[in-house]
Amino acid sequence: MNLTELIIKGILILVLFGVTLLIAMYSTWAERKVAGFIQIRFGPNRAGPGGILQPLADAGKMFFKEDFIPSQANKWLFILGPCLAILTALMSSAVIPFGESIKYDDLVIPVQGIEINIGILYVFGVVSLGVYGLMVGGWASNNKFSLLGAIRAASQNISYEIGFGLSIIAILMMTGSLSIRAIVEQQHGFAWNLFNQPLGFIIFLTCAFAECNRTPFDLPECETELVGGYHTEYSSMKLGFYLFAEYINMFVSSAIISSLYFGGYNYPGMDWVRETLTGSLGAATGHNLATLIGTLVLFGKIFFFIFFFMWVRWTLPRFRYDQLMNLGWKTFIPLSILNVVVTGFGLLFDIKYATWAIVVVMVILALVSSARAPKPAVQPQRT
Amino acid sequence: MQLTNRSKEVSNKQMTLAEKMYLPAIAQGLAITIKHFFGKKVTVPYPEVKRYLGPVFRGHHILKRDEEGRERCTACGLCAVACPAEAISMVAAERKKGEENLYREEKYAAVYEINMLRCIFCGLCEEACPKQAVYLRHDKLVPIFTERDQVIYGKDELVEKMNDRYIRTNPDAQATPTEPSFSRSAT
């Protein structure tokens, strides 16, 4: 690796890191804006035009609050908790391919933190480490509500990790690679995995909600039952880090969902765009510009999913804990195993859209069941 | 007693498979929220847009003049007596010769002060006044003050300006202006 490559790679990593932080920062603003709009309000609109400076104001507030450590808490673990949470959240974006490649002289540098051939496994490993942040923080607080929140977070994440992992096995079977870049490259153009794996997508999406501790699965911080959950005792920027880690996780899981199921930086007509640009602007510039367009497309998809996360959050109420566990263990795990089996049959007999069979059967069953359900008796209007 | 006809009877019947899948219901919910997302917002962004508060709103005090421009107040002190917050104080004086075009009655208020920190804007002074002299304007709020010496309002701020006469809209139902659009500020 020569110096130029090193510099370009370094700049690239710093830019990706900065963009991750920036998006997480503005997700807090966007969340409040979306919440406002969905509740027919305006959301924050005082700090700067449209409230655009609100994240800075929030960060300033967080920094100037008293940084309190309870006297009975385990001091070092108490500090370690939020550090772990934000560390693991930031680490997982390293393997996501944000674009094709940059051409400089005769160098070809992929737009990605690092390309490793077990990319998706790395993401899963880091995401499951994220539980430690919550567990350590909740345990070190020496507060029963924090501990309950931490236990909930741990059991929820572990339960949903199984469904999460099983749902992408179907994709791994189809692509034959663990590298996220390889998975994205196989979805070239408009051959997105979504069209082959509709059920897997829905399971993956729901599990991603659960992994990010977002509503409807935000049991770990359920205010009505647990005060503030695992971050009850936290204040100042330590609390800020926990909240920030949640938003970074949201960004990363949006990026992974769009890479795995929505084709990443692929979009219909990308070959034509590339040919036109390289034809008119020269090989290197045209290629870089085409890469940039692909990256923008990927970010468009990511923003859509971040919006979707918020949209769902402000629509659905929270699940009860037993409902959560039932959904994870009794619905998603069997369904994703079925999905794997059907995908296997599809690969064996070379049927491309085999998993649609599950969807069709489920829709038919649902229609039959609602048709056969006893009609509610017409209630006479009380006067 | 039935208040609306939108109430639904709750039942604990077995859910059908379609309902157990949640997804149709979730899609319905998402459709409702996205409709709200693009819908008209109900918030009135207050300092920029001011709503019309109706002709009965009780705002800034005003000491009225009559149609010839003479002060109506005769310093009888009934407003000060009626005031539950004891915000009003006044010093009466006798009208001199040649001041007939200034004061309507033979006695007038030389000093008339309202302590705006005490005032609770109940409007009892307005009701007590036998000369229709003191009113609470429906179209103007007492401005924010930041210093203690801005709190007590004297006659210079209270007496009606001749070039800016205050007329309360006829409170009869027919004449009451209907709710104006949010973009229109209070008149």
| Letter string b/e over residues A180-208, b meaning 16 or more CB atoms within 10 A of that residue's CB | bbbbbbbbeeeebbbbbbbbbbbbbbbbb
- Inter-chain contact A379–B9, Cβ cutoff 8 Å? yes
Give yes or no for B36 touching A (CB within 8 A): yes
Nearest residue on chain B to A367, alpha-carbon basis: B18
Give yes or no for B18 touching A (CB within 8 A): yes
**What six digits make up the tokens of A77?**
């673990």
Candidate CATH numbers 3.40.50.2000, 3.30.70.3270, 3.40.50.410, 3.40.50.2300; the one for domain B61-158 = 3.30.70.3270
Rounded to the nearest angstrom, the minimum Cα separation between A380 and chain B is: 11
pLDDT at residue A375, as a whole number: 67
User: In terms of Cα–Cα distance, which of A116, A136, A59, A125 is closest to A91?
Assistant: A125
Q: What is the mean pLDDT of chain B?
A: 80
pLDDT at residue A148, as a whole number: 86
The interface predicted TM-score of the complex, written ipTM, equals 0.76
Give yes or no for B31 touching A (CB within 8 A): no
| Crossing angle of helices A356-372 and A198-211, rounded to 10° | 80
Query: Does any domain span residue A54?
Result: no
Residue indicated by tokens 């390309």: A115
Number of domains comprising chain A: 1
**What six digits make up the tokens of B68?**
């010839």
Helix (H) or strand (E) holding A17: helix A3-38
Neighbouring-strand partners of residue B152? B115
- Single pTM value for the model: 0.80
**What six digits make up the tokens of A285?**
């510039």
Q: CA B87, CA A123: separation in Å to the nearest integer? A: 69
pLDDT at B90 over 50: yes
Amino acid at A171: I
Task: Report residue A227: phi and psi, to 5°.
Answer: 60, -100
pLDDT at B177 over 70: no
User: In terms of Cα–Cα distance, which of B74, B152, B144, B149 is closest to B107?
Assistant: B74
Q: Which domain holds residue A328?
A: 65-369
Residues 6+ apart with CB under 8 A from A308: none
Q: How far is CA A326 from the centre of its chain?
A: 22
Secondary structure of residue A373 in the 3-state scheme: coil
Secondary structure of residue B75 in the 3-state scheme: coil
pLDDT at residue A383, as a whole number: 56
- Inter-chain contact A373–B11, Cβ cutoff 8 Å? no
pLDDT at residue A380, as a whole number: 60
> Residues of B numbered 54-113 whose beta carbons fall under 8 angstroms of chain A's beta carbons: which are they?
none
pLDDT at residue B88, as a whole number: 92
pLDDT at residue B175, as a whole number: 34
**Domain boundaries of chain B, sorted by first residue:** 61-158
Query: Does any domain span residue A216?
Result: yes
Q: CA A187, CA A193: separation in Å to the nearest integer? A: 7
- Each residue's pLDDT, cut to its tens digit, for chain A (383 residues) gives 688 888 888 888 888 888 888 888 888 899 888 988 998 888 888 888 888 888 888 888 888 888 888 888 888 888 888 888 888 888 888 888 888 888 777 777 777 878 888 888 888 888 888 888 888 888 888 888 888 888 888 888 888 888 888 888 888 888 888 888 888 888 887 778 888 888 888 888 888 888 888 878 877 777 777 777 788 888 888 888 888 888 888 898 899 888 888 888 888 888 788 888 888 877 778 888 888 888 888 899 999 999 999 998 888 888 888 888 888 888 888 888 988 898 888 888 887 787 888 888 888 888 888 787 776 665 565 55
Rounded to the nearest angstrom, the minimum Cα separation between A122 and chain B is: 31
**What six digits make up the tokens of A310?**
């918020």
Task: Give the one of B2, B23, B29 whose C-beta lies nearest to A315's C-beta.
Answer: B29
